[in-house]
Structures are given as C-alpha cells and as structure tokens.
Structure 1
Amino acid sequence: MNWYVVYTKSKWEKKVAEQLQKRGIECYCPLITQMRQWSDRKKKVEVPLFNSYVFVQLAESDRNSVFDTVGVVRYLFWLGKPAIVRDEEINVIKKWLNSADTIDVAVASYQIGDSIQLESGPFSAQTATIQDMTNTHYVLVLESMGCVLKMKIKS
C-alpha cells in the first residue's frame, strides 16, 4: 500500500486525521510543539508540521474512501498523478520528530537558489535547494520528498 498526501481544509489537519483513524484508515499527521503567545499568556501547542496535509496509507482501489471524511478537500498531485510518499520518507519524518537532538546547519556561505547536499541529521543524503534565508530561518526545498522545510538557525 502506498502513502498518499491528502489536502485538508485550513486548520483541519488534526480533526481529519482523528476522523480517518476512527474509520480505520492508516494516517499520519506529523505534529510539532510550539510556544504561542496571546495577549494574556503563553502556551505550548501542538501544530501540524505541514499545513493542510495529512498522509494516508491506502490501496489504490480505496483512495476515494477518504472523501467521506469531513474536511478532506482533495489529493495532492505531482506531475499529473497522485503524489506518492515512500515509506522511507515517512520514517525519516518520524525519526526527525522523535529526535531530541537539534541540528545546526550553517547557511551563511550559501545563496538563494544553491543546491546543497545535507550531510547530517534525519535528512542526510538528501539534496535540497535554498529557497529563502533570513537572519533566523532558512527555507529548503527537498524535491525528492516534494516538501519545503523552514528551519530555525541556532544562534
């Protein structure tokens, strides 16, 4: 069975994943913990790593069954076909999220548009293109995984 990417309504990722699991569909919604600040307090909240995306593992013949779930919009397509995510890529994401280590990557000597080979961490041996850089973050495009990562630069 393949992993497919389901596009959801905005801010519905966790609800869709919960509903899919209740229906017996194998799904994965990677979550990260972030500190959010309101006017009166700070709070740690779990937010999806990929906005509006939930990964589902289904047989090709069962792909339409996800549309019975409220909040599912469509499948993500790549080159005219439903995007398929390999098991290894899902495992890399899980390994990265479960890792207690924070990885430093220096991007000061790079420029936007440069193609780099990641040498360490959960995305090692992946080729990425630098899409954007700021003083605190950089954005990498992992074309082989079909995703964009926003990484914080440690000071």
Structure 2
Amino acid sequence: MTASAHSAWYVAQTQAQAETKACANLARQGFEVYLPRYPRTVRHARRVNIVRAPLFPSYIFVRIDLAAQRWRAINSTIGIKRLVGHEGTPAQIATDVIETLKQHEKADGFSSVISPASRFKTGDAVRILKGAFDSCCGIFQARTDSERVEILLDLLGRKVKVVAGAHMIEPA
C-alpha cells in the first residue's frame, strides 16, 4: 500500500512472539507495517544460530490513515493485542523515528542498532531487573558477547561473578 498524505505511523502491541503473524495479517488487510529486526545469537544443543529477532519484542509499527481506513479492525486482527494509545485513540509516532530506524537497517534487514550491553563500561554500578538476582546491585565487569554481560555482585560478604542478559540490567 502506498502512503497517503494523511497517513501516519502508530504502534500495535502484538501477542507474545506473534510479530510476524501480525504483520502478515495486517498486510493482507492493506496496512503498511514495519517490524525492525536485529541479528540475535541463539545457542542450543552446542549449536549457535543467528536469527532475526524483533528489535522491540511484542510491538510493530503500522501506517494508518485514520480518516480513510478501518483502523479499529486492527484490534481484532489475529496476532494483535491492541493499538497503543490513550482513551481509544491511537498514539501517533513521529515519521522521522521510523525513517531513522529504517536508515540504520542493513541491506539484509538486520538493524544495526547498538547492543544494549554497550551502554555500560567496566566499573559502572548496575541493577539486575529480573531473574534470581532481581533488584540486586553490582558492578559491571565486561560484555561476554553482544547479549550477555558479567556483573560482580556482593553476596553474603564476598564478591560473586554473575553472567546475565544485557537486557536484564539498568544503571543503578
């Protein structure tokens, strides 16, 4: 579908791991959709695979002309939970945000967005957001790869090195 002069980008929340299914169903209904992805390393049974993972899990972008398209149908589309908005009105996303994301994509469709682990440097104070060490604070040690980090925690009076997902930590 070509973008009309009155269309804008909106965010739709998808069901868990249903981003691709939601995109296909919305495209079938005539909506333009955008699902930015990045290369993610997956380890399983001594194998390492690189998969195209959503940059924003459970969210996709949809271009809608609110005046001309039946946009309320999006909320009942298979794979979609709801359009993100306030009091029944979808919240518009600035077009330059989408354009910036698209500009940072590589030719193979993988986004070249910086790894979450690159926000930290050795010695930074961090807090673990979830898992067995939820809410524990520690010291950032190093990145083990693009998705995992080493953190030094002070547990029971001694320093313990913990490896966690980079998405599971925030600055303390």
* Bucket of the pairwise TM-score, normalised by the shorter protein: 0.5 to 0.7
Q: What pairs with 1:2-13 in structure 2 (closer than 5 Å)?
A: 2-13=8-19
Is the 8 Å Cα contact of residues 9 and 93 (structure 2) preserved in structure 1? yes
2:79 is matched with which residue? 71
Amino acid at match of 2:65: A
Higher-Rg member (1/2)? 2
> Which structure 1 segments of 5+ residues have no match?
113-132, 138-149, 151-155
Is the 8 Å Cα contact of residues 14 and 48 (structure 1) preserved in structure 2? no
2:102 is matched with which residue? 94
Cα distance, 1:68–1:80 mapped onto 2, change above 3 Å: closer
Q: Which runs of 4+ in 1 moved over 4 A?
A: 78-81, 99-103, 105-112
Aligned-pair CA distance for 1:22: 2.2
Q: Which of 25, 37, 47 is residue 41 of structure 1 equivalent to?
A: 47
Q: Which of 62, 65, 88 is residue 59 of structure 1 equivalent to?
A: 65
Cα distance, 1:111–1:88 mapped onto 2, change above 3 Å: farther
Amino acid at match of 1:43: N
Q: Deviations 1:33-70 (Å, cap 9, x if unpaired)?
A: 11101014211111100010010001124321213421
Name the CA distance, whole Å, in 1 between partners of 2:99 and 2:82: 24
1:23 is matched with which residue? 29
Residue aligned with 2:105, SS = helix
Identity %: 25
Cα distance, 1:8–1:111 mapped onto 2, change above 3 Å: same
Cα distance, 1:102–1:70 mapped onto 2, change above 3 Å: closer
Aligned-pair CA distance for 1:106: 6.5
Aligned residue pairs total 118
Name the CA distance, whole Å, in 1 between partners of 2:30 and 2:85: 24
Q: TM-score, normalised by structure 2?
A: 0.56
Q: TM-score, normalised by structure 1?
A: 0.62
Residue aligned with 2:30, SS = coil
